[in-house]
Amino acid sequence: MDAHVTARSAESQVIMGTRFSRQNEGWPLNIGIIPKMTRRKSTRIAAQKEKPPTPNERPNESSDDASEPSWTSRPSSPDSASSASGSKPQPRPAKRRKVTKRTTTASVTIKEPNSASRPSIKYTKSDSLSLVQSIFASNTHDGHALPFRPHRPSYHNPMLLSCPSTQTSLLNWFQKEQSTRLMPWRKPFLANPSRADLSRRAYEVWISEIMLQQTRVATVIAYWNKWMAKWPTIEDLAEATEEEVVNMWTGLGYYSRARRIHAAAQKVFGDGEMKGLLPDTVEELMKHVPGVGRYTAGAISAIVFGRAEPMVDGNVMRVLSRQMGLMGDAKGDKRVADVLWEAADRLVKAVAETGGEKSERPGLWGQALMELGSTICTPKPQCAKCPVTESCRAYAEGLALARGFQQDVPDIEDGIECVLCELFEEDDMEVSTSNGNKKRPQQQTSKFFEGFRAGVDKERISTLTAPTSRELETVITHAQKFPLKKPKKQVREEESLVCAIRRVSDGQYLIHRRPDQGLLAGLWEFPSYILPASNDSTPKSRRKQSLDYVSGLVGTTGGYRGELGTVPWLFSHLRLAMHVHLFELDDTDGGIHTPPLKGNQRWASGNNIDLESMGTGMKKCWSLIKASGK
């Protein structure tokens, strides 16, 4: 028999590109394996002398974080296995240290996992597919691996897939929830609609989903109602002007969405095949409707046309990350996103099996997951109210930590370690005992987890003792760690001069149209100037800069009326302070003659400024101008 089969160290470790078979452990054959990484930590692995990387080792790749922990990859080739058993003996792995039994209660303190603790490795599409296969290939589920969560990829196979009773619980919860949390775009599924009814229903769902992106439901309800009152069908929207559409959108932000909606309506209505009816499949929606991505396409296809398509927004990613115990970066790591989308796809198809080819179930299921994420499974979850705790990995882990129930850390030499998750380090988790002392969690096997294995019936799960309020705090603290949170980028701060230039003869104001690309694209504004980053802004310096700026625009400073105030405005990536200045140009009796206007400039009546397509921040500047009385 080959050395690499008999050598235990070689069997358990693999490098990128190797393929192997795990028939005895239920692993799929010939899966592309992701590198096995072992964190060097003195409290977990005996210290070994460092040696230069060999051709069979993958050295630590570069990282922006200077505090990046070291990772090593052990030998896996026949040659390296032979050398391990040759004349030069290798140090034996240290035995797992014994942990004495402790009685623990109260809460667990868990530090945020280090989001930069994985090495930077490029993965191909084939690697992602292999990873997905390794997670979903089997219906069996590993037990929980606390306290430090070393586990195989199959740990993330969602238990919700094999719990029909829990699926039903979520659907029943949503049926009650939508009857109390009313939204005008939520309507009964059209089983046998006419083409006109189906076209209007698809249009209503489409507009609601675009508006709901980055916007609170309470805000969207008012906008959606006004929109539908003005343009009740896609034909009505197609016949509107872009200026009207953008003006109606004012206040929702991300104004490019409004332009894409208008362009898409014109295309769908004018297309010889679509003729005003949105396509019913995800592929066709993404291909033919501008501005429609995978999520929106899935929502339209499932809610309107009854197709079993996943709907994965930020709320659903959070719900599934906790359900699957997936401590990964759902927004920044494509592998994690792919796994969550795959889970969502399998779940909606499982739920839809009992509803026929097309039914209301896919749409209800997708909306139920989103509703759960927006009301219960929020960044700080209300786990006591959740209808799907029976299948939630994060809930079970948190409850186990609260009660001091831990399972033996699995021997990862017998399998493949998950590379999607960040591990909790030994010093990242402490249990507070009843006397206030900090102690490490136990590592003992517990029958507690048996109730959380896939396929268990609801009666068995319901026999578990409900958590106390103190235990529930620990559960919530643990669940809050999912999904992995990347450090937020610091919001950039800027200052600008907003110069309102008014003609004395007719009271009109000079306004500019912003470029078609970039922030607030295509909106109208008063002439504005971004101050340099190194600017030491004072009222005196701002007056001089505004005079210079206006002189360059109209050839004269005219009558400077002063700085009226400052309007602060916050974008997702920018905090802007707009200093509003007022100027008057006396063009009566042969006075000042203004230069010809450029293509993006025009004069607008003060009575009509409120009707212009301006951003909300600029309209606040206009309110300040009107209130000044100057």
d(CA 285, CA 271): 13
b/e 332-360 (16+ beta carbons within 10 angstroms → b): ebebbbbbbbbbbebbbebbbeeeeebbb
3-class DSSP state of 207: helix
Residue 406's H or E segment, with its range, is none
What φ, ψ does residue 71 adopt, rounded to 5°? -130, 145
Residues 6+ apart with CB under 8 A from 576: 493, 494, 495, 496, 568, 569, 570, 617
d(CA 294, CA 288): 13
Under 8 Å between Cβ of 251 and 211: no
d(CA 460, CA 466): 13
Number of separate helices (H) and strands (E) present in the chain: 20, 14
Crossing angle of the two packed helices 469-479 and 393-403, in degrees rounded to 10? 130
d(CA 259, CA 523): 11
CA angle 265, 269, 272 (to 5 degrees): 140
Under 8 Å between Cβ of 595 and 551: no
Using only C-alpha atoms, the chain has a radius of gyration, in whole angstroms, of 31
Structure tokens of 555?
């050839």
d(CA 382, CA 377): 6
Is residue 209 among the annotated active site residues? yes
3-class DSSP state of 191: coil
Structure tokens of 344?
């969502």
Strands 508-513 and 438-439, sheet pairing: unpaired
Tell me 535's DSSP state. -
Alpha helices, DSSP H, located in 448-558 = 458-462, 469-479, 539-554
Tell me 614's DSSP state. B
Under 8 Å between Cβ of 46 and 94: yes
Q: Which of 11, 57, 209, 309 is catalytic?
A: 209
Residues 6+ apart with CB under 8 A from 149: 325, 327, 397, 421, 423, 424
Question: What is the per-residue DSSP string for 499-523?
Answer: EEEEETTT-EEEEEEPPSSSTTTT-
What φ, ψ does residue 151 adopt, rounded to 5°? -160, 165
Structure tokens of 8?
């235990």
Structure tokens of 276?
């005003």
Tell me 211's DSSP state. H
- The span from the first CA to the last CA of the chain, in angstroms, equals 94
Report, as residue numbers or ranges, the catalytic residues: 209
